[in-house]
Amino acid sequence: MTKRTTSDRFSNERRLVAMLLLMALLSPTVSVAHTRGSAADQVASDTEGPYTYLVAFVGALGDAKSAADSLEAAKGASDVGLINSVRRAKSLYQSAASRIAPYERSADKSIRTSAEAAAVAFEMFVTVEDQFLKLLTQSVTDLAEGTYKPGPAAEITADLAAKGKEAEDMLLAAAIAASFAPLILDPATSSRSKMALTSQQRDDLLAKLKATFGSSIVNGLQSGQNKLTAAAAAVYQVVGDPKRLSRSQM
């Protein structure tokens, strides 16, 4: 049985806080889109924040995909190759976390909530890869010394896989929250048919997402997508919705 540490308890508390924030943000009774002043004032004041955050978030998703691709490519590799791939994945998840970190203090609720959830997800990914790296290194040593025991290693591996899935769920929730960031709530109609993005900014974000994840995300969330692809698709679906007017169309 894996011993729980102070770090584990801290991570669990962060996950709980992030999930509570996400539940509050995504509740249908809570207005999360921008509502300040006129539509023109809202766009002028909010355009830069949502766009820069979404650029950072999409970049972080790209880091996560590179990490996942690195681990996938390492299947069947030598011990050294697998260890190097895990190290690279850990570094990429740390890069993703650093992209998001400045936005955990954002005054915008949707940005802050998404960033906090994403930060927890990437922290979990880093922890998983770090613990897996230690397991691999110890297993190599134990095999060389003839003291390797498959039972404990299998238990730890299963526990890490479960934590990885939990991190994926958190990242998907963060992506859904991120999709709220550019939306403008019209108090008169209670609709979110406008976005605090220019047409160029919208096109730029969609191009970045498609360049990283391919055409599998252009129709939004679909059954059969893995959680990481679904996270990208969730953002693409909202930002790319032609029914929502960009700043340039207002």
HEC assignment per residue over 177-223: HHCCCCEEEECCCCEEEEECCCHHHHHHHHHHHHHHHHHHHCCCCCC
Please count the structural domains in the chain.
Answer: 1
Domain, as residue range, for 105: 7-21+40-249
**Treating both helix axes as pointing N-terminal to C-terminal, what angle do 48-73 and 227-239 enclose, rounded to 10 degrees?**
150
28 within some domain:
no
Output the tens digit of pLDDT for each of the chain's 250 residues.
444 454 454 455 555 445 545 554 444 433 344 433 344 433 333 334 899 999 999 999 999 999 999 999 988 888 888 999 999 999 999 999 999 999 999 999 889 999 999 999 999 999 999 999 999 998 888 888 888 888 888 899 999 999 999 999 999 999 999 998 999 877 777 677 788 899 999 999 999 999 999 999 999 999 999 999 999 999 999 999 988 877 777 6
Distance CA 114, CA 220 (A): 19
Given the structure tokens 């550019």, which residue do they identify? Answer: 182
C-beta neighbour count of 59 within 10 angstroms: 16
The pTM assigned to this predicted structure is 0.80
pLDDT the model gives residue 8 = 56
pLDDT the model gives residue 44 = 37
What are φ and ψ of residue 168, in 5° steps?
-60, -40
219 within some domain:
yes
C-beta neighbour count of 200 within 10 angstroms: 12
Burial class (CB within 10 angstroms; exposed 0-12, middle 13-18, buried 19+) of 172: buried
2 within some domain:
no
Given the structure tokens 């894996």, which residue do they identify? Answer: 2
Tokens encoding 224: 């059969």
C-beta neighbour count of 96 within 10 angstroms: 28
E strand or H helix at 230? helix 227-239
What are φ and ψ of residue 249, in 5° steps?
-95, -5
Distances (CA, A) of 182 to 45, 125, 175, 239: 11, 27, 13, 8
pLDDT the model gives residue 185 = 77
pLDDT the model gives residue 20 = 47
27 within some domain:
no
What are φ and ψ of residue 35, in 5° steps?
-135, 10
140 within some domain:
yes
Given the structure tokens 């990242």, which residue do they identify? Answer: 171
185 within some domain:
yes
29 within some domain:
no
pLDDT the model gives residue 28 = 41
31 within some domain:
no
Tokens encoding 132: 């897996």
pLDDT the model gives residue 187 = 74
